[in-house]
Amino acid sequence: ARAALLRSQKLEAVGKLTGGVAHDFNNILHIISANVQLMLRSDDNGRKRLLNILDAVERGKKLAAQLLAFARRQPLHPSVVNLAQLIERMDTLLHRAVGDSVAIRLTIAPDLWNVLVDPNQLENVLLNLVINARDAMEGGGNVTITLANATIDPADPLAYSGIRPGEFVTIAVSDTGSGMPPDVMERAFEPFFTTKPEGKGTGLGLSMAHGFVKQSGGHIRLASREGEGTTVTIYLPRALQDTPDPAFAPVPH
């Protein structure tokens, strides 16, 4: 049943992916075909048309490379992780990623439960979220990362928004940036959807975060207000085992 579920999730992701990519490839092929037809009609300005074709081919190559990177997602290697420890270890990396104009504040609730996740992939996801926060804060601002335990009971309003009741640890990444207009928020998880300039965004950060969190048995939620900021909250299922694997045990004090 689990294999079937994974398969259906995969198919859903592929369906979403192919929609956007097919559209982009279609545009590229259209440009090539139009330029070739014009060249066949007359031989004036052939060089310019060849340059247009070359440009379109380059775009196609880049798109194919992104697709391959997306398809080559690594399998998960979950372990029992103490998130406070994981985040504290990422401290230097995160500060470097955001630069001097952005302050990072960390709030960790006491007696945090352990979670069962692939720590390396979670690190990638968190790094992506923090980079998104930085990109939304031109001229600087604050990122707040909050770790807390969360019990979602069946009567919780969140349970109606598709969150499975149970015990989770939440990681909330908040920024004081531009926020997202409703149309961006609606599409933010789509693979290859980006509002960033060419070469800056791939549009894969949030879609990979979504895939990772779903595969880990958790949830991801967006809250955003234009002109005020954005909060991305990740729910990761509590690990049944209480002792974290050695690499992610809390430092004794």
Residues that bind ligand ADP (CB under 6 A): 128, 132-133, 136, 175, 177-180, 184, 188, 193-196, 201-207, 230
- What is the distance of C-alpha 167 from the center of its chain? 23
The neighbouring-strand residues paired with 172 are 146, 233
Residue ranges in 140-242 assigned as alpha helix (H): 157-160, 182-187, 205-215
Min dist CB 48 to ligand ADP, Å, is: 32
Nearer to ligand ADP, 110 or 227 (CB): 227
Min dist CB 13 to ligand ADP, Å, is: 13
User: At residue 22, what is the residue type?
Assistant: A
Nearer to ligand ADP, 35 or 175 (CB): 175
Min dist CB 130 to ligand ADP, Å, is: 9
Min dist CB 72 to ligand ADP, Å, is: 17
Q: Is the dihedral of CA 36, 40, 42, 45 positive or negative?
A: positive
CA distance 146 to 174: 8
Min dist CB 186 to ligand ADP, Å, is: 10
Nearer to ligand ADP, 203 or 244 (CB): 203
If we measure between CA atoms, which residue out of 96, 113, 133, 134 comes closest to residue 232?
133
Nearer to ligand ADP, 80 or 209 (CB): 209
Question: CA of 68: how far to CAs of 9, 60, 108, 158, 234, in Å?
Answer: 19, 12, 37, 35, 26
Min dist CB 140 to ligand ADP, Å, is: 14
Min dist CB 32 to ligand ADP, Å, is: 26
Torsion-angle region of 115 (φ positive above 0: left; ψ -120 to 50: alpha; else: beta): beta
| Residue, CB closest to ligand ADP | 205
Nearer to ligand ADP, 149 or 195 (CB): 195
Nearer to ligand ADP, 229 or 244 (CB): 229
Helix (H/G/I), strand (E/B), else coil: 153: coil
Other Cβ atoms closer than 10 A to 52: 17
Nearer to ligand ADP, 53 or 188 (CB): 188
User: At residue 250, what is the residue type?
Assistant: P
